[in-house]
Amino acid sequence: MKQVYMDNGSASPVDARVIEAMMPYFNMDVGNPSSLHSAGRKAKRELESAREAVAKLAGAASSKCITFTSCATESNNLALRGAALRYKDKGNHIITTSIEHMSVINTVKDLQRSGFEVTYIPVGRDGLVDPERIKNAITEKTILISVMYANGEIGTVQPIREIGAIASDKKILFHVDGTAAVGKVPVNVEEEHIDLLTISSNDMGGPKGAGALYIKQGVRLMPFMLGGGQEAGMRSGSENIPGIVGMGKAADIAGKEMAEEGARLIRMRDRLIDNILKTEYTYITGHRTKRLPGNASFRFSFIEGESIILQLNDMGITASTGSACSSKTLEPSHVLIATGLRHEEAHGSLLLTLGRTNTEEDVDYVIQCVPEVAARLRRLSPLYPNR
């Protein structure tokens, strides 16, 4: 049976070149970068080399602005908690959107329980945020705005430059969750007025267990993990050198290959979308063109997304429904509900996310299988009008 992996938004294969770069740091070059001996100094050089690669990919003016973490969720927590607690004397109001990742949603909810006020900006049916809504929500107590660069579930890319300009003009900290975007589309923290940027290793072909937070020079955060003072005191604990080396290599590869790879993914994405939408009662979710290169997301009326996923799995296709990070609940995707879908509509979602390993043959196979699965499930559905 043909095997097709189209769940790169949940977990991406680690690039073979990244694995090769990481291998020596598991069993040969094992020095701690805080040590003074030659092995430690070598680890320190590799740490800083990776920091430079990640800073370059994000368009940062200095590698000193990059703090390595264990994952994007930790980076989001450090950015939100660190900024809120550090600047609470200036105000207690935070602005975010209704479609953020749960590591942002749950963190600001927890801050609400600690006395912070949070405004959740709604989105349109295509998942886009209107910058004017954010501008109108600002008060004299606003200290932080947090908007994701792109939504990994519906693919919509937000008008970050416009929102960043508003935040900069009002002298309000601007945090961007760049997990789904960095390495896939051009991001420039300087030009887009971003003060804090969350970056994920695995989402750009690096290993799991590594992430980073860009912190603009002059921005101060309250660290929430204390210890030996690693990462300029922002993230204490011995650095994950193999993971960080891998993340640095992945960032370097992404920077060099992003334009060509992005164009390839867009061609396959659009062919997936155009053909799958020929299936009756099938609709795209997210913005049709302002979306991530490898993201093709749909909803199907009269059938459940879980059933689609399981039947596709039996045909050798790995896909997703809703968000992998919130799949432990039976509730429909909060992102799809925020775009105005009813619960029963949101339950019929299918998310196909392409990556470096996908081919045109993979696309052909998925285009063949998805309509077959939809037709089979609808014949079993008591809600389907054409049974």
Instruction: Based on DSSP, count helices (H) and strands (E) in the chain, helices before strands.
Output: 12, 12
Q: Distance (Å, rounded) from C-alpha 157 to C-alpha 198?
A: 15
> Which residue in the list 65, 71, 325, 369 is annotated as catalytic?
325
From the list 12, 40, 66, the residue with the least C-alpha distance to 180 is 12
Q: Is 318 helix (H, G, I), strand (E, B) or coil?
A: strand
Given a contact cutoff of 8 angstroms between Cβ atoms, the answer to whether 268 and 360 are in contact is yes
- Burial class of residue 173 in the structure, from the number of CB atoms within 10 Å of its CB (0-12 exposed, 13-18 middle, 19+ buried): buried
Q: Distance (Å, rounded) from C-alpha 221 to C-alpha 125?
A: 35
Given a contact cutoff of 8 angstroms between Cβ atoms, the answer to whether 210 and 240 are in contact is yes
Angle, CA 235 vertex, CA 67 and CA 246 arms, to 5°: 50
Task: Report in angstroms the alpha-carbon separations of 235 from 26, 207, 243, 245.
Answer: 22, 19, 15, 17
Alpha-carbon dihedral angle through residues 376, 382, 383, 387, given to the nearest 10 degrees = 60
From the list 319, 292, 336, the residue with the least C-alpha distance to 374 is 319
Residue 199 tokens read as 């970056």
Q: Distance (Å, rounded) from C-alpha 58 to C-alpha 51?
A: 11
- Burial class of residue 185 in the structure, from the number of CB atoms within 10 Å of its CB (0-12 exposed, 13-18 middle, 19+ buried): middle
Given a contact cutoff of 8 angstroms between Cβ atoms, the answer to whether 130 and 158 are in contact is no
Active site residue 325: yes
Which residue is listed with tokens 């164009």? 263
Residues forming the active site: 325
